[in-house]
């Protein structure tokens, strides 16, 4: 989704990863569960929207 996503999609993904990151004592820590949970939900919504758009286009 990141490679084929819009600028807004890429910005959202980047913000999600960065907002769940911390840097302390020379170590970068990313809280993966919230990142993957958010991105998984986003991908499902994106997939549903694509299916809806495709069915609307097929109907016309």
What does DSSP assign to residue 23?
E
Whole-model pTM: value is 0.51
- Distance, in Å, from the CA atom of 11 to the CA atom of 23, rounded to the nearest integer, reads 21
Question: What pLDDT is stored for residue 34 in this prediction?
Answer: 80
pLDDT at site 46: 77
pLDDT tens digits along 3-59:
777 888 888 888 888 888 898 899 988 888 888 888 888 878 877 877 777 677 776
Angle between helices 32-59 and 7-19 (to 10 degrees): 160
Query: Which pLDDT score is estimated for 25?
Result: 93
pLDDT for position 26: 92
Give the whole-angstrom CA distance, residue 38 versus residue 58: 30
């Amino acid at each position: 989704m990141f490679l084929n996503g819009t600028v807004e999609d890429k910005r959202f993904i980047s913000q999600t990863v960065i907002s769940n990151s911390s840097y302390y004592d020379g170590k970068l820590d990313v809280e993966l569960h919230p990142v993957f949970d958010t991105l998984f939900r986003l991908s499902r919504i994106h997939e549903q929207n694509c299916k809806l758009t495709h069915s609307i286009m097929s109907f016309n």
